[in-house]
Amino acid sequence: MKQVLFSTLIALTLLFTPASRAQEKPKVTHVEDVIYARKFGTALTLDVFQPAKPNGAGIIAVMSGGWFSSHDSIKVGSFAPYLDRGYTVFAVVHGSQPRFIIPEVAQDMHRAVRFIRHHAAKYGIDASKLGVTGGSAGGHLSLTLGTQGAPGKPDAKDPIDRESSAVQAVACFFPPTDFLNYGETGEDAVGVGVLKNFKPAFGSRADTTEERQKYGREISPIYFIASNLPPTLIIHGNADKLVPIQQAESFVKKAQDAGAKAKLVVKEGQAHGWADMGKDSLRFADWFDEHLLGLKPN
């Protein structure tokens, strides 16, 4: 199972990498293995990519496929659309399933945002200008931050935990958004059905139908949409069998109905990944330019 998920994550990373840029060596500073948390004796780390001419904003890249995360998937070429425009990129590796389940993985991401915000001055970014991006499970975690980013605890012993985990913009590929209505109304995918091969990521709470109904709401971003959702862009193929496009359609509609800014770009005939995804990452960069930097779209 782990090998399959790892292969998927690597494939997504390569898809995000424009072929013309893969062999180049961007003039960036790469700081590896920055520890943002420790969990059960394990260090959780992120890599920082700082461009030669930073624009003061940060992009959090969620390194996740099937809720499995690996440093081997971090490739500077995949961040070229952001680095070229001056964004500082934080490539976050979270605790992986099967050891850690989705709610625990989500907490890793909240912690990573708080860590980045706490050290914003060190990395030359504005703490109020953070965007997040990812694909598939990484998209799900991006939307989890977008819908559930929250203030820290003022009385927390660790000053990092006093920081907010909110982000200011989201742009992601084909994210699961509603595990209780997966592809159609009432379709349960909480570690069963279409997502049965990902059962370890859901853990023991996916063992019974009754518990899955409660659990599914807790881990589905769609149930946390509010009018203050940060501007959100989703790109999704309408031939995706693993994550049905209905997941993006329903999320965006509910967000728009709530008065939030959300947009869906449909890739006709495309499945769970496609050859020129690197070009679509440029749309993400445009989105962040508009909503983090206030630049007018072309």
pLDDT digit string (tens) for 129-141? 999 999 999 999 9
Residue 247 tokens read as: 């997941």
Give the C-alpha separation, 118 to 116, whole Å: 5
Which of 13-27, 52-66, 86-100, 264-278 has the least mean pLDDT? 13-27
Asked if the model's pLDDT at residue 266 lies above 70, the reply is yes
Give the CA radius of gyration of the chain: 18
Strand partners, 46: 34, 92
Find the distance separating the first CA and the last CA of the chain, reported in whole Å. 43
Residue 76 tokens read as: 């500077």
Whole-number pLDDT of residue 12: 52
Contacts of 163 (CB under 8 A, 6+ apart): 113, 114, 115, 117, 118, 152
Mean pLDDT of 45-56: 97
Give the C-alpha separation, 6 to 69, whole Å: 8
How many C-beta neighbours within 10 Å does residue 258 have? 13
Asked if the model's pLDDT at residue 24 lies above 90, the reply is no
Cβ(153)–Cβ(215) below 8 Å: no
Is residue 296 very low, low, confident or very high in pLDDT (cuts 50, 70, 90)?
confident
3 state SS for 87-107: CEEEEECCCCCCCCCHHHHHH
pLDDT digits (tens, 9 = 90+) for 196-232: 999 999 999 999 999 999 999 999 999 999 999 999 9
Cβ(244)–Cβ(181) below 8 Å: no
Which position has the token pair 């084909």? 174
Contacts of 72 (CB under 8 A, 6+ apart): 6, 10
Which position has the token pair 């496009």? 245
Whole-number pLDDT of residue 25: 54
In CATH terms, 2-291 corresponds, of 3.40.50.1820, 3.10.129.10, 3.40.50.970, 3.40.50.1460, to 3.40.50.1820
By C-alpha distance, which of 104, 123, 129 is closest to 51? 123
Whole-number pLDDT of residue 2: 44
Whole-number pLDDT of residue 252: 98
Cβ(37)–Cβ(44) below 8 Å: yes
Task: Work out the mean pLDDT of the chain and round it to a whole number.
Answer: 92
